[in-house]
Amino acid sequence: MTDVTRILNAIEQGDARAADDLLPLVYEQLRLLAAQKMAQEKPGQTLQATALVHEAYIRLVGLEKQSWASKGHFFMAAAEAMKRVLVDYARQKKSLKRGGDHERVPLDDANTPENNLPLSDDLIDLDEALEKLSKADRAKADLVKLRYFAGLTGEQAAKALGISHATAERYWDYASSWLRLEIVRNRQKRSC
Amino acid sequence: MINSSKSEEEIYHAALEEPPDRRSGYVRAACGDDLELLERVESLLKIREDGNNFLESPLFADQPLMSTPPEEKPGDTIDKYRLLEKIGEGGMAVVYMAEQERPMRRKVALKIIKLGMDTKSVIARFEAERQALAMMDHPNIAKVLDAGATETGRPYFVMDIVPGLPITEYCDKNRLSIKERLRLFILTCNSIQHAHQKGIIHRDIKPSNIIVTMHDGEPVPKVIDFGIAKATSQRLTEKTLFTRHGQIIGTPAYMSPEQAELSDWDVDTRTDIYSLGILLYELLTGTTPFGEEQLREAGYLQMQRIICEEEPTKPSTKLSTLGEALTDVAKWHSSSPELMPKLVRGDLDWIVMKTLEKDRTRRYDTASALAADVHRHLNSEPVEAAAPSISYKLRKFARRHRVFVVAGLFVVAALMVVAVVSAMYAREVSIHARESENARQEITGLLAGSYVDRAQALCEQGEVGRGMLWLADSLKTAPEGSSNLGRAIRTSLAAWHRQLHSLTTVVQYPDPITAVTFNSDGSRILVVCQDGTARLCDSVTGKAISRPLNHGSLIWDAAISPDGTRIATWGTDRLVRLWEASTMEQVAEPIQHQECWRIVFSLDNARLITAGRDGFRFWDAGTGKSLGKAFRYESEGVRAITCCADGVRAVIKVAQGKHQMFDVDRGEPIGPPVKHVNLGTVVISPDGMRFATCDGEGLIRVWEAATGGEALDPIVHGGGISALAFSPDGSRIVSGGLTRMALLWDAATGEPIGAPMRQRNTVRAVAFSPDGTRAVTGNQDGVVRIWDLIKRKYVGEPVRHQDELVAAAYGPEGLRILTETDGVVQVRDAATGKPIGKPFSHPGKIWRIAFSPDGSRLLTRKKGSADFIRLWDVETGEQVGRPFNKSPTRMTFSPDGSRILAGGHDAVARVWDAATLKCLGEFHQHRSSVFAVDFSPDGSQFLTGSFDGTTQLWDSATLEPIGKPLVHQSEVKDVAFSPDGTKILIGFADGTVRLRDLKTLKPIGTPLQHLKIVCAVAFSLDGSQLLACSIDQTARLWDAATLKPIGPPLEHDCWWPTLASFSPDGSEILLADPHGTAEIWQAPPGPLKGDYERIVCWVHVVTGMELDSTGGINVLDAPTWQQRRRRLNELGSPPGLTLSEF
């Protein structure tokens, strides 16, 4: 039984604090995987976030059958972790572009090719908007994270959150409009 | 009042439940006074409606958010493909020509799917079928080679490049007959059948996925996009069908009922059969059973209902209901509106309807079964499609056997090609023949007429030889009674012959030809065969002049001295041998130049120059003694060597793919090296200033040696080139190669000149005669052909003068021109340039002129609409009277010269007394500018035509209108009376020309077509031909009796032609504009004389080809050609077109 499986079991048995232990583990694993992938892949190859999450799951949880609740916890952590990994990359890239903040330590020592550094302002903006949504309506923000960052389908995400598929679809519709409006507004504010 | 305490989210969702047109009203009501809430909900709904939801697809790490992915552009690299240029774009995808670098360098087509799709699953689905796709191996299927994702995450597919047009466009553009369309359709079915056998369903058969490409000069349909439809197919739902931007994915007109029913998983090979049926429908009728517009507008459910339930109209019925549009469809089929529905009715109706069955079990089981039925139709065998009643079968049988009986009635000797087509008419003919001779004549006339149109289309596309064969064939079909049609065909044949590289000599040699060259006076050719023999032959008869020389080993290169006395050969024995041309005896010892590549004689005949890997050497051409070495260099080889007035020039390969011209005498390079990889033959221009290179992909590049720059855009010969030559004056290039044809090019512009010179085998050697009028081609199969080349334009140069030419027109003694220097205008004889009469000073630029019939008076008018007409005495140069008739358009004298008729921009036509310049009458009949005026030949009537689209006939004596004005479909630009005064010809602004009977004023035949405004029309002197000149840069000639085109269009350079007229003797045609362009063209020659056999035989001889049983072409082999040539001598060549004696 892996550390992560143990934590998932603990969460299932009602240990709410165990969830806090999960995120660092998953984050660590994802960061490692992302760095490896980027170093290995040929230039121009795309780095697929969802593939990373699934690979991380297999490494951390293994192939043992897990309940959807457990999986849900993992993927929630993974989505959050993935978001952090990517937002970190985006911030780093942005600061490199500006030529400032040279002291910032790269995420890893691998000689990451510039064109593999993903993302840009868009992702940072999305992150900000998601944080705001999370405060207002956590379930909807979680749904978006699961689908967008962990690559779950609408149905899987609904199961992971323990809501009906129809509700998940309604959440999704509203949340994506809400987020896009938020991003657009923030940009307008900034450019003013 | 709706409760306004609902939350933002609730209102948002509730609004989405409302129909779109009521949403905004609902939101306003729901938000009540809360303006902030209203603003937010409206913004949320708007942003939702705008689409572009980046969250929709799971994150790809480098996929930019929010913004649409940037478009790829030429120069970008996608994986191993470098984008070169965009070659197509549709709703679904954009296609680029791309270059693949690895593992081999080649050009491919890259199709990038535009619509937002789940790239991963698209590629996964493609990969799943990849194995099956790889199993397909059919020449008419373009394979999808690869698939992947662009950096922006869009799926792309890599395919072979298939140059060509979608099948429907190709057929219409080339005006293919129904039979030819069916042939292409059968080929298409065969390709689909192959795929089906490998378990692949296309799922998206439509014209744009069937590209007709030329293979060996024959059209071949290639099916593209196999595997793409499956990979990109999403479950069809209302949402995916009408996608984000309201676009329909796929082509609803070609969608089968099972596809429309969204049962996409339930698609099988019979779905493709259905789409093939729609394709056949469109090929036959020019439209699909359910119109694309109709389906798109119908909305989703309605569309589904139409496709799944509505019974399509039979093709023949559809044709009959097309109305006006049928004229166009018939034109595209080289047929007539009367004939089209008849051709389609019956078999073809049944075949199409069987493929379009809603219940797929009732369709054809396989594509090959469909093809077989079409084939049966072509062979007049009973088709499977109809309910095969016994009476039907019997009827079919009778028809099949009666063809020959009936054919015998009206066809002298039926060739297969006619027999098959005749079969379609046989029934009609047999019914009518007994009753009415006229009906029979009419039908055969229609048939022959459609052949003439087809032939004209072929000729105008550059296939002059093939078109002439069709013309000759139509002579046979033309009813004997129809002397008019026969005359038109014979005249057109003679006119087109001027645009044909005519074959004069064909000789068979025992071995592949490695080199051919003319001697200095062009009387002989030296033919070198690969077996080591070389022969001198008469360049007219092809007869051997002497016994062959025998080099003793295979010959690699040969040269003949400019004076024709010496021949040099070198071969695999690595020896250069010198021969006395008159005796073919070897002179002197063989020359040893081990590393020899090329040999050439000096211009003074004294020296032989050999070029080898180790440098150049000079030898005495008489004795073979060494005259020493020249310029040494280290290189990979000499590609070409020539002697020009400035010395010896050679093109040397200096590095891989790099070539450079050198001055051999000085040992210095001329200009930098040029790069052309995969290089074949290299030739140097006779002046030594340029050289041409060619490659295995069929490109010819012409280089300026001094700068290393390309003299013109690459010439596309197509297919591997193995032989190349410059004409002696450097103005033209002839190329030949694997595609079994030789082509002539303008070396200044890169434009092709004339039609391909077709061969039966690979062309290995080409050369020009010293005067540049002939070319010789030598082939892999040992056949040498000599061609009389056409001149660039078959007319003289445009008329020029050292002073500015301002106008041209025929006077009684011949062509006159008006020249101008500093406002002083002089009338001159065009031929001699000598002045006629005194010069005069004209205020402002002359725009239009008219001479009096006796040539003594001249009318002029200035550019612009505000001035007057001026009358001049040509002899004295004095102006006669005052300027008159304000704002004139066009003016003309009456045939007796006593009156002047002028049209005006003020919509008024006026008649003036030519002596007194008194106005005899003003005619306010028209409502817009009167552009067209003409007197009848006897002067008793005149005609005015206006931009308001009307013409009016007038009585000259009473100056009263005759009858009512004629209302036309377009603005009138010019009118002309026929010489016998029985017909009028009208040119219109919409590009049409119409002939009308003067008595009845009824139109004769269908309108004749130009592409743009027709500015000038005329009759030939005997009234047998019509001439119309358009701003589309062509003037066209038609036979006045049959309205069939005669010969090639005259491709003029007049910017705004104001004059098109036949010369007084009828031998020439003048086209002129007010900007000083005056071109004289030869009028078409008289009709070819002689019976059908003589003319067909003659066409076979000059084209070197015959029609095969399918209407394609068959290049004659040497014995057959020689036999036809002898037969032609027996029959006598058509007069005026004598071939050299054989």
Q: What is the pLDDT of residue B129?
A: 65
Burial bucket for residue B452 (CB in 10 Å: 0-12, 13-18, 19+): buried
Of B134-143, B241-250, B802-811, B1070-1079, the poorest mean pLDDT is in B241-250
Work out the angle between the directed axes of helices B437-460 and B416-435 (0-180°, nearest 10).
Answer: 150
* A37 interaction partners in chain B (CB closer than 8 Å): none
Q: What is the pLDDT of residue B794?
A: 46
Mutate to test the interface with B, among A180, A181, A182, A187 (most CBs of B within 10 A): A180
Cβ <8 Å between B44 and A178: yes
Cβ <8 Å between B16 and A173: yes
Of A75-79, B174-178, B537-541, B677-681, the poorest mean pLDDT is in B677-681
User: Taking an 8 Å Cβ-Cβ cutoff, which residues of chain B contact chain A?
Assistant: 9, 12-13, 16, 40, 43-45, 47-48, 53-56, 58-67, 77, 79, 120, 149, 151, 153
Residue B390 in this model has a pLDDT that exceeds 50: no
Q: How far is B202 from chain A (nearest CA, A)?
A: 30
Please provide the DSSP assignment of B868-897 as one string. -EEEEETTT-PEEEEEESSSEEEEEE-TTS
Q: How far is A174 from chain B (nearest CA, A)?
A: 7
Sorted by sequence, the CB contacts under 8 Å of residue A24 that are 6+ apart come out as none
What is the tens place of the pLDDT at every residue in B40-92? Answer: 898 888 888 776 566 765 554 333 222 234 567 777 888 888 888 877 766 56
**Which of A82, A120, A149 lies at the smallest CB-CB distance from B64?**
A120
Q: How far is B8 from chain A (nearest CA, A)?
A: 10
Mutate to test the interface with B, among A178, A179, A187 (most CBs of B within 10 A): A178
* Torsion over CA: B250, B252, B254, B259 (sign): positive
Residue A26 φ/ψ, nearest 5 degrees: -65, -45
Q: Is B933 within 8 Å of B901 (Cβ atoms)?
A: yes
Residue A167 in this model has a pLDDT that exceeds 80: yes
Cβ <8 Å between A144 and B45: no
CA angle A126/A132/A136 to nearest 5° reads 135
Give the pair of three-digit tokens for residue B249. Answer: 């994915």
Whether the bond into B590 is cis, omega within 30 of 0: no
Delimit the domains of chain A by residue range. Answer: 3-191
Cα B974 to Cα B649, B909, B1027, B1081, distances in angstroms: 57, 14, 12, 21
Residue pointed to by tokens 């007069």: B1135
Q: Is B860 within 8 Å of B883 (Cβ atoms)?
A: no
A47–B contact, CB cutoff 8 A: yes
**Which of A82, A120, A174 lies at the smallest CB-CB distance from B13?**
A174
Q: What is the pLDDT of residue B301?
A: 62
Cα B190 versus chain centre, distance: 27
Sorted by sequence, the CB contacts under 8 Å of residue B946 that are 6+ apart come out as B903, B907, B926, B927, B928, B929, B930, B931, B932, B971, B972
Closest residue, chain A, to B50 (C-alpha): A177
Average pLDDT for residues B835-855, to the nearest whole number? 90
**Which of A46, A50, A147 lies at the smallest CB-CB distance from B62?**
A46
Mutate to test the interface with A, among B7, B65, B83, B118 (most CBs of A within 10 A): B65
Q: Is B475 within 8 Å of B1122 (Cβ atoms)?
A: no
Burial bucket for residue B741 (CB in 10 Å: 0-12, 13-18, 19+): buried
How many beta-carbon contacts under 8 Å exist across A and B?
A: 80
Give the pair of three-digit tokens for residue B259. Answer: 């596809």
What is the tens place of the pLDDT at every residue in B997-1046? Answer: 998 888 898 888 887 789 899 999 999 999 999 887 889 999 999 898 99
Cβ <8 Å between A44 and B151: yes
Average pLDDT for residues A96-121, to the nearest whole number? 39
Task: Fold for B502-788, please state it.
Answer: Methylamine Dehydrogenase; Chain H (2.130.10)
Residue B41 DSSP SS3:
helix
A179–B contact, CB cutoff 8 A: yes
Q: Is B244 left (phi over 0), alpha (psi -120 to 50) or beta?
A: alpha
A155–B contact, CB cutoff 8 A: no
* B83 interaction partners in chain A (CB closer than 8 Å): none
Question: pLDDT higher for B605 or B342?
Answer: B605
* A85 interaction partners in chain B (CB closer than 8 Å): none
Within 133-152 of A, beta carbons closer than 8 Å to B belong to 144, 147-149, 151
**Which of B48, B54, B61 lies at the smallest CB-CB distance from A118?**
B61
Cβ <8 Å between B62 and A116: yes
d(CA B528, CA B516): 6
Within 18-37 of A, beta carbons closer than 8 Å to B belong to none
Confidence of residue A92 (pLDDT cuts 50, 70, 90): low
d(CA B813, CA B204): 68
- Average pLDDT across chain B, whole number: 81
Residue pointed to by tokens 């002045």: B835
* Exposure string over B998-1029, b if 16+ CB within 10 A, otherwise e: beeeeeeeebbebeebbbbbbbbeebbbbbbb
Q: Position B895: which residue type?
A: P
Q: What is the pLDDT of residue A46?
A: 46
**Which of B43, B59, B64 lies at the smallest CB-CB distance from A181?**
B43
What is the tens place of the pLDDT at every residue in B934-966? Answer: 999 999 999 999 988 899 999 999 999 998 888
* A144 interaction partners in chain B (CB closer than 8 Å): 55
* A148 interaction partners in chain B (CB closer than 8 Å): 55, 58-59
Confidence of residue A108 (pLDDT cuts 50, 70, 90): very low
Q: How far apart, in Å, do the first and last CA atoms of chain A sit?
A: 54
Cβ <8 Å between A119 and B61: yes
* A47 interaction partners in chain B (CB closer than 8 Å): 60-62
Q: What is the pLDDT of residue A107?
A: 34
Q: Give the CA dihedral B356, B360, B362, B363, nearest 10 degrees.
A: 50
Average pLDDT for residues B441-458, to the nearest whole number? 75
Residue B678 in this model has a pLDDT that exceeds 70: no
**pLDDT above 90 covers what percent of chain B?**
26
- Work out whether strand B144-149 and strand B919-923 pair parallel, antiparallel, or are unpaired: unpaired
Cβ <8 Å between A46 and B151: yes
Work out the angle between the directed axes of helices B464-477 and B416-435 (0-180°, nearest 10).
Answer: 30
Q: How far is A71 from chain B (nearest CA, A)?
A: 18
d(CA B1124, CA B469): 14
Average pLDDT for residues B539-548, to the nearest whole number? 87
Q: How far is A1 from chain B (nearest CA, A)?
A: 30
What is the tens place of the pLDDT at every residue in B602-649? Answer: 888 889 998 877 788 889 988 888 887 767 776 667 888 898 888 889
Count each helix (H run) and each strand (E run) in chain A, helices first: 8, 0
Average pLDDT for residues A113-121, to the nearest whole number? 40
What is the tens place of the pLDDT at every residue in B715-743? Answer: 888 767 889 999 999 999 999 987 788 99
* A183 interaction partners in chain B (CB closer than 8 Å): 66
Cβ <8 Å between A149 and B59: yes
Residue B411 in this model has a pLDDT that exceeds 80: no
Q: What is the pLDDT of residue B386?
A: 57
Delimit the domains of chain B by residue range. Answer: 8-50, 502-788, 798-884, 1092-1131
d(CA B319, CA B294): 18
Cβ <8 Å between B13 and A120: no
Task: Fold for B798-884, please state it.
Answer: Thrombin, subunit H (2.40.10)
* B54 interaction partners in chain A (CB closer than 8 Å): 122, 180
**Which of B13, B79, B153 lies at the smallest CB-CB distance from A170?**
B13
Q: How far is A170 from chain B (nearest CA, A)?
A: 8
**Which of A118, A144, A174 lies at the smallest CB-CB distance from B62?**
A118
Average pLDDT for residues B710-719, to the nearest whole number? 82
Q: How far is B296 from chain A (nearest CA, A)?
A: 28
Q: What is the pLDDT of residue B577?
A: 92
d(CA B1007, CA B984): 13
- Neighbour count for residue B434 (Cβ, 10 Å): 9
Cβ <8 Å between B12 and A46: no
d(CA B1069, CA B381): 51
A1–B contact, CB cutoff 8 A: no
> What residues pair up with B1115 in beta bridges, in sequence order?
B1105
Cβ <8 Å between B62 and A183: no
What is the tens place of the pLDDT at every residue in B741-752? Answer: 899 999 988 888
Count each helix (H run) and each strand (E run) in chain B, helices first: 24, 66
Q: What is the pLDDT of residue A64?
A: 64
Confidence of residue A104 (pLDDT cuts 50, 70, 90): very low
Closest residue, chain A, to B60 (C-alpha): A48
